[in-house]
């Protein structure tokens, strides 16, 4: 069965708003067992939207749209679908009751424009909106199904999960849901992942595919099967093969993130951490402290940007901070040592570098990041060099610092 996602709104088309609805719906539809070949974005123009609905219905068994169900003149989704199917718009008293109820919650009386939200395509099934004022609709036509959902994610997602997804599962029996497992790797580039497990990428079932993110590689294992137990066994067999070859780089799976995995390791080992940052500007501390329960192991974070602060607060030697604009391996280690002492922590972690766009030094161009790690029995410094703009260097430097800490906590720094 084929599905298609239709995102509606000029603000989406012009890139003024990030289309998270399309990402969410695409993931949901593939998990249900649909093949998704097209995802279309259309502005608030009734004729262009009519043509988009006609094309989508011709291509797919299920079309899911989001946006354009509100009370204003540019909300034209219902009208466009009605034109595409050759149907009338019908005022629904049932829908109108829910619109008025939501307005009453907001302490506002309905106006004439609000009545537009109670118009349904003839033959449509009304879907209540328990968060906002614009109801959704499910329309069937010649064996095809079209779902109209509101644009705000806080309205769209609950409506999909509570009301629409169960209807789709009933209307499309026999779907083979997608079962997948995502393995998350750090410390290895995509090319070396290809060298290690490239033969698996040609597997028809389960499929194996790599995806590159900021500072990590994700490997997805997926299969479609009506039998959940059989599907999970197939995925597990492939996962075992990948772990046998790349296990030392796999820090987690599925929804894991590096800061949570590192936090759990610190808590389990009973170790405390303190962080001193320069070029990453607080992002490292933010990621660490954003994990629930971080107070069990995270003692403090300090942004030491100027050479004077590095000297006064972290006891970095004057000759080191005055050499190469305060960016060198000695400063990185001294910052980690200083923050560890200041916080009385077990581990000190630091970042210093040139995030750009200006700066740099001989042998340390813009994009250079030094990461320092200090513990009771030793110290270590790692250098990374990243292309890209300032935000990219900061993001990747932060990820590299967490990856270094994860490596230290799991297998040491012997490599």
- Residue range 133-148, pLDDT digits in tens: 999 999 999 899 999 9
Using an 8 Å Cβ cutoff, are 219 and 205 in contact? no
Who's near 23: CB < 8 A, 6+ residues apart? none
- Give the per-residue pLDDT at 174: 86
43-96 pLDDT, tens digit per residue, is: 999 999 999 999 999 999 999 999 999 999 999 999 999 999 999 999 999 999
Gap between the terminal Cα atoms of the chain: 49
Rg over alpha carbons for the chain, rounded to the nearest Å, is 27
The structure tokens listed for 79 are: 């009208």
CA-nearest of 73, 67, 84, 88 to 20 is 67
328-386 pLDDT, tens digit per residue, is: 999 999 999 999 999 999 999 999 999 999 988 888 899 999 999 999 999 999 999 99
The 3-state DSSP composition of the chain as helix, strand, coil percent (nearest 5) reads 45, 25, 30
In the DSSP assignment, the letter for residue 403 is H
CA-nearest of 380, 407, 102 to 265 is 407
Residue 413: which pLDDT band, with cuts at 50, 70 and 90?
confident
CA-nearest of 255, 122, 109 to 180 is 255
3-state DSSP assignment of residue 327? coil
Q: What gap in Å lies between CA 410 and CA 405, rounded to an integer?
A: 9
CA-nearest of 105, 95, 106 to 129 is 95
Using an 8 Å Cβ cutoff, are 181 and 239 in contact? yes
Q: Please state the φ and ψ torsions of residue 358, each to the nearest 5 degrees.
A: -100, 180
Judge if the upstream peptide bond of residue 245 is cis by omega within 30 degrees of 0. no
162-219 pLDDT, tens digit per residue, is: 999 999 999 899 899 999 999 999 999 999 999 999 999 999 999 999 999 989 999 9
CA-nearest of 228, 180, 184 to 205 is 180
- Give the per-residue pLDDT at 414: 65
Who's near 284: CB < 8 A, 6+ residues apart? 275, 277, 301, 349, 351, 398, 401, 402
Q: What gap in Å lies between CA 305 and CA 310, rounded to an integer?
A: 7
Residue 323: which pLDDT band, with cuts at 50, 70 and 90?
confident
Q: What gap in Å lies between CA 13 and CA 19, rounded to an integer?
A: 9
- Give the per-residue pLDDT at 392: 95
- Give the per-residue pLDDT at 324: 74
Q: What gap in Å lies between CA 284 and CA 272, rounded to an integer?
A: 15
Domains of the chain: 2-171 (3.40.980.10), 178-253 (3.30.70.2860), 258-411 (3.90.950.20)
3-state DSSP assignment of residue 315? coil
273: burial class by Cβ within 10 Å (0-12, 13-18, 19+)?
buried
Q: What gap in Å lies between CA 370 and CA 385, rounded to an integer?
A: 9
Q: Please state the φ and ψ torsions of residue 301, each to the nearest 5 degrees.
A: -130, 145
Per mean pLDDT, which range of 100-104, 107-111, 303-307, 322-326 is the poorest? 322-326
For the chain, the farthest-separated pair of C-alpha atoms sits apart, in whole angstroms, at 80
240-288 pLDDT, tens digit per residue, is: 999 999 999 999 999 999 999 999 999 999 999 999 999 999 999 999 9
- Give the per-residue pLDDT at 415: 55
- Give the per-residue pLDDT at 361: 86
Mean pLDDT within 2-20: 96
Q: What gap in Å lies between CA 162 and CA 138, rounded to an integer?
A: 14
């Amino acid at each position: 069965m084929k599905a298609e996602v239709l995102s509606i709104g000029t603000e989406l088309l012009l890139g003024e708003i990030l289309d998270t609805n399309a990402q969410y719906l695409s993931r949901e539809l593939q998990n249900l067992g649909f093949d998704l070949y097209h995802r279309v974005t259309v502005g608030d123009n009734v004729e262009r939207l009519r043509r988009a609905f006609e094309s989508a219905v011709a291509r797919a068994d299920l079309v899911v749209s989001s946006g354009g169900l509100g009370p204003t003149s540019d909300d034209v989704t219902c009208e466009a679908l009605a034109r595409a199917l050759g149907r009338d718009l019908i005022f629904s008293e049932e829908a109108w009751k829910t619109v008025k109820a939501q307005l009453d919650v907001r302490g506002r009386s309905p106006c004439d424009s609000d009545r537009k939200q109670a118009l349904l395509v003839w033959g449509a099934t009304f879907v209540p909106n328990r968060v906002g004022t614009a109801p959704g609709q499910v329309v069937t036509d010649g064996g095809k199904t079209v779902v109209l959902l509101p644009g705000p994610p806080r309205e769209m997602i609950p409506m999909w999960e509570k009301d629409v997804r169960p209807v789709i599962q009933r209307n499309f029996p026999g779907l083979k849901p997608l079962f997948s497992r995502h393995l998350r790797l750090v410390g290895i580039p995509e090319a070396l992942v290809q060298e290690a497990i490239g033969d698996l990428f040609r597997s028809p079932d389960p499929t194996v595919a790599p995806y590159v993110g900021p500072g990590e590689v994700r490997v997805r294992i997926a299969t479609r099967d009506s039998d959940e137990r059989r599907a999970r066994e197939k995925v597990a067999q492939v996962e075992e093969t990948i772990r046998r070859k790349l296990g030392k780089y796999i820090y987690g799976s599925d929804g894991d993130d590096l800061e949570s995995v590192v936090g759990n390791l610190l808590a389990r080992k009973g170790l405390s951490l303190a962080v001193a940052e320069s070029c990453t500007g607080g992002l490292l501390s933010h990621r660490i402290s954003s994990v629930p329960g971080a107070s069990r192991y995270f003692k403090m974070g300090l942004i030491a940007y100027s050479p004077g602060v590095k000297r006064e607060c972290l006891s970095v030697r004057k000759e080191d901070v005055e050499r190469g604009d305060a960016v060198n391996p000695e400063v990185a280690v001294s910052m980690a040592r200083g923050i560890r002492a200041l916080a009385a922590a077990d581990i000190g972690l630091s970042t210093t570098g040139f995030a750009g766009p200006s700066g740099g030094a001989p042998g340390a161009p813009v994009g250079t990041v030094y990461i320092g790690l200090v513990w009771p029995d030793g110290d270590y410094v790692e250098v990374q060099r990243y292309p890209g703009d300032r935000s990219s260097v900061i993001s990747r430097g932060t990820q590299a610092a967490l990856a270094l800490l994860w490596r230290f906590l799991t297998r040491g720094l012997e490599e």
